[in-house]
């Protein structure tokens, strides 16, 4: 059991000390192997076997990054965002905040599922809107919560784009790999209550906690917003066709790799990207998503090492006894483990392989239903992503909102998102597991 607990503790400690997450995972894998019967050679062999399971996920990220980079190269997204910014700044309606908030929320949701570009829209769209937010005295902490909700909640529930990667290629795959029969599992039902908890947290942030006006200096007052030259209609149409193609192919084939590749091909076919530029754009896209992909690959290797130590059985027996006597406390403890691991890694996508390896056998020994186990692992994996200092879901909003130096990453993004999303996720995730068990 020590070969499980100490390596996870080391991973958390190193990650929180700002040691690169990949290095933290590798060191923890080596510790797990050395504390068990594996030894150094077998540990490395086990780690190499595990990373093979994450190769397709990393390639999906790379293709999505290349498609997003190609789409941005056309400058059509920039034109659309700048036009929206100017229109909002000049609006005379009675509900400018509603328009602003709705626009940002829709774009955040689309960035995960419909136009899977992740946080790439933030540096394009947010800086031009800061002047508008300042003049409306909008509390940027509310914007941070709303963006993080759009970046996280949708991939937890909608199986398209990054949601397809999280729900189908990571969650279901690792549940099955850890010994659970996933046939017939309804992920919508499993994740409904946790998502409801996040939505309630968002409403509290928008209508209660950060409803009051907050003053900011108009340091961006001299920014001259101008709509770029309108792209040709054929260019706009081609971008729309590329997005629809990516979305449709992914739905039809359940492959983000093929979807991203076909979308990129459409951009090349319409000559929005020159042939000689394709290699450079591909490389840029891969760089944009590389860190996430390699962290997920490393997490798969760590999970395999934990499995091969043979210590999980000991842990299962120990925790199983506690779970049998205090079921509610045991479920909460397992969710809390997910929170700690995700806070350390900073990515729910990379957390699932590790916690599924540990928690699925425990839940099976306690007689939980497959649906309850899916709800537990899905929620435990998401805990901490909305609230981790190292998460893209918090780093992205902070980078955009702090363009004028008036938004602190920890105080204005991490703490608000942690309080309004992780606490509801813990509570509603616990209720979901207890109802479905």
Cβ pair 378, 191 in contact under 8 A: yes
| Alpha carbon distance 376, 432 (integer Å) | 8
Q: What pLDDT is attached to residue 34?
A: 85
DSSP symbol at 346: S
Domain ranges of the chain: 2-212+222-436
In whole angstroms, what is the distance from residue 433 CA to residue 437 CA?
6
pLDDT band at 345 (very low <50, low <70, confident <90, very high): low
pLDDT of residue 208: 93
Helix (H, G, I), strand (E, B) or coil at 108: helix
Distance, CA of 292 to CA of 284 (rounded, Å)? 14
Q: Is the pLDDT of residue 85 over 70?
A: no
Q: Looking up tokens 């990393």, which residue turns up? A: 58
What pLDDT is recorded for position 228? Answer: 59
Confidence (pLDDT) at 316? 60
Helix (H) or strand (E) holding 192: helix 187-204
Q: What is the pLDDT of residues 189-247, one digit of tens each?
A: 888 999 999 999 999 999 999 989 888 887 654 444 455 577 788 888 888 888 788 77
19/13 Cα distance (integer angstroms): 9
Q: Write down the pLDDT at residue 365.
A: 81
Q: What is the pLDDT of residue 313?
A: 65
What does DSSP assign to residue 208?
I
- For all residues of the chain together, what is the average pLDDT? 79
List Cα–Cα distances, 2 to 27, 40, 309, 323, in angstroms. 16, 17, 10, 19
CA distance 138 to 68: 30
Q: What's the longest Cα–Cα distance across the chain?
A: 70
| Mean pLDDT, range 350-361, rounded to an integer | 81
pTM for the complete prediction?
Answer: 0.72
pLDDT, one tens digit per residue, over 119-173 is 767 766 777 678 778 878 889 999 999 999 988 888 888 877 777 778 888 888 8
> pLDDT tens digits, residue range 67-82?
777 777 777 766 776 6
How many Å separate Cα 225 from the centre of its chain? 31
Q: Is the pLDDT of residue 93 over 70?
A: no
């Amino acid at each position: 059991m020590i070969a499980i607990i100490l390596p996870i503790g080391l991973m958390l400690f190193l990650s929180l000390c700002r040691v690169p997450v990949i290095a933290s995972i590798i060191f923890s894998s080596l510790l797990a192997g050395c504390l068990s019967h594996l030894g150094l050679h077998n540990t490395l062999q086990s780690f190499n076997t595990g990373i093979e399971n994450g190769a397709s996920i990393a390639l999906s990220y790379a293709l999505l990054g290349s498609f997003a980079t190609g789409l941005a190269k056309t400058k059509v997204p920039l034109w659309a965002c700048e036009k929206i910014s100017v229109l909002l700044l000049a609006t005379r309606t009675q509900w400018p905040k509603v328009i602003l908030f709705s626009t940002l929320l829709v774009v955040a949701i689309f960035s995960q599922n419909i136009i899977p570009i992740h946080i790439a829209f933030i540096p394009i769209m947010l800086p031009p809107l800061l002047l508008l937010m300042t003049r409306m005295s909008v509390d940027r902490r509310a914007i941070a919560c709303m963006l993080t909700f759009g970046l996280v909640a949708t991939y937890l529930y909608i199986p398209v784009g990054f949601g397809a990667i999280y729900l189908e290629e990571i969650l279901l795959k690792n549940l099955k790999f850890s010994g659970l029969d996933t046939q017939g599992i309804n992920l919508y039902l499993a994740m409904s209550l946790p998502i409801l908890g996040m939505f309630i947290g968002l409403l509290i942030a928008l209508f209660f906690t950060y409803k009051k006006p907050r003053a900011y200096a108009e340091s961006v007052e001299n920014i001259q917003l101008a709509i770029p030259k309108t792209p040709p209609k054929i260019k706009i149409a081609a971008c729309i066709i590329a997005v629809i193609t990516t979305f449709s192919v992914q739905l039809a084939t359940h492959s983000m790799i093929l979807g991203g590749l076909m979308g990129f091909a459409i951009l090349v076919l319409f000559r929005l990207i020159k042939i000689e530029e394709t290699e450079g754009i591909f490389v840029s896209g891969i760089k944009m998503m590389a860190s996430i992909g390699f962290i997920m690959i490393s997490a798969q290797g760590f999970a395999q090492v934990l499995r091969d130590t043979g210590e999980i059985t000991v842990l299962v027996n120990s925790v199983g006894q506690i779970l049998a006597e205090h079921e509610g406390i045991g479920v909460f403890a397992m969710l809390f483990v997910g929170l700690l691991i995700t806070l350390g890694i900073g990515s729910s996508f990379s957390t699932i392989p590790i916690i599924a390896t540990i928690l699925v056998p425990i839940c099976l020994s306690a007689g939980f239903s497959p649906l309850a186990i899916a709800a537990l692992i899905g929620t435990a994996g998401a805990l901490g992503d909305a609230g981790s200092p190292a998460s893209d879901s918090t780093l992205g909003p902070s980078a955009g909102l702090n363009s004028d130096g008036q938004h602190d990453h920890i105080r204005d993004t991490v703490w608000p998102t942690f309080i309004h999303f992780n606490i509801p996720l813990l509570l509603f995730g616990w209720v979901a597991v207890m109802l479905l068990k």
